Structure 1
């Protein structure tokens, strides 16, 4: 479940970091966690990253990753810069990932282009067709969207979190209209999840959650 923001800065769980195929320098970890703490976020916070990391590790134990370090870094940085309503959050997050890789992982052989590519693609959730991307990309993108198939109470908390983040940036009626349009678009898709792995696990639950959410956004 996404972590709520408290006075003390939330941090990435040590148990998750220990399972990743790369080690973050203390300074890199601190800079990353600081990025996710600004501005205060109801959903796109370090708790969301932790949840996507759990999905990342599930895939690592199942289908596996072709470029596990690059995907792990994309998970860690994909929402590092987030301001509700801006269209360049993903691009700016990708730039930050490149900067951190160059600063703290210069000799690690990381494919920074691949990390940036994955992060940039998260801007197109709901618009990417399965055949447009490779299987590793499908799994990465689906992990970010797995919240759609969460337990109803967890999904509802996510939906409220998104609304909270946009409050003050977009008028309420306009937000509800656009949000409902986005959710209806997802529901109309033949596949909500691009990969077979996530489709089998979460499609039915996601459709139930989306139907419920759509009926409440009048």
Structure 2
């Protein structure tokens, strides 16, 4: 559930205005902020909320020196889950299409618009090509949640619980099976994080968290009755 305050939302609005200006927008950015923030606050969201948006933007700030076009990465962060329905598989494509419609209206040039849409679509796989520094920055920022928070030992558990809440319509056993498959796919990747910062600071704790969650999901529940 999103716990952002009015002050947090105001900060996001200011950030959007600054990013739009840096992107060369020549239209009033406020209506676009209204629509984006309304989308990120839709009631079906429990993890993919404005809090997640703010977290990804904060990670983008950390990784900006790595990116060839930090402004494109910021815009992609704003749009990467702008369309989100947990029961749909085309969220990234629809989010990219939204960026392709909205950014030209805002006055953002075609080359940067195309790059933003490409980056949004890349979050389907989180597998940027070698040398794709923009893609590496966005994907690492999006996956940084897997590393938890050194200052909050409950951060990863809260993330996992929010993901489960978004999929409350899925029966428990089906969710456990599907979630375990996702975790295995992530753990099988040779590298979760592609930027030097992500590799140094997030890779090891993320793998520990993923392995712990996978063990919890796949350990049989013992029957507490006597004789079992």
Please indicate the TM-score interval, normalised by the length of the shorter structure: 0.7 to 0.9
CA distance in structure 2 between the partners assigned to 1:95 and 1:143 by the alignment:
21
Please give the TM-score of this superposition, normalised by the length of structure 1: 0.85
Q: How much has 1:85 moved relative to structure 2? A: 2.8
1:183 counterpart SS class: helix
The answer for the alignment partner of 1:40 in structure 2 is 44
Unpaired runs of 5+ residues, structure 2, are: 22-27, 219-228
The answer for the alignment partner of 1:79 in structure 2 is 81
The answer for the alignment partner of 2:193 in structure 1 is 193
1:22 counterpart SS class: helix
2:59 counterpart SS class: helix
Given the alignment of the two structures, is residue 157 of structure 1 paired with residue 158 of structure 2, yes or no? yes
Cα contact 2:148–2:205 (8 A) shared by 1: yes
The answer for the alignment partner of 1:121 in structure 2 is 122
Q: How much has 1:112 moved relative to structure 2? A: 0.9
Given the alignment of the two structures, is residue 136 of structure 1 paired with residue 140 of structure 2, yes or no? no
Going from structure 1 to structure 2, the CA distance change for 1:102 and 1:29 (only over 3 Å counts) comes to same
CA distance in structure 1 between the partners assigned to 2:202 and 2:14 by the alignment:
22
The answer for the alignment partner of 2:11 in structure 1 is 13
The answer for the alignment partner of 1:208 in structure 2 is 208
2:124 counterpart SS class: helix
Please give the TM-score of this superposition, normalised by the length of structure 2: 0.81
* Structure number with larger C-alpha Rg: 2
Cα contact 1:78–1:119 (8 A) shared by 2: yes
RMSD between superposed Cα atoms in Å? 2.6
Cα contact 2:46–2:162 (8 A) shared by 1: yes
The answer for the alignment partner of 1:49 in structure 2 is 53
- Residues matched between the structures, number: 209
Q: How much has 1:40 moved relative to structure 2? A: 3.1
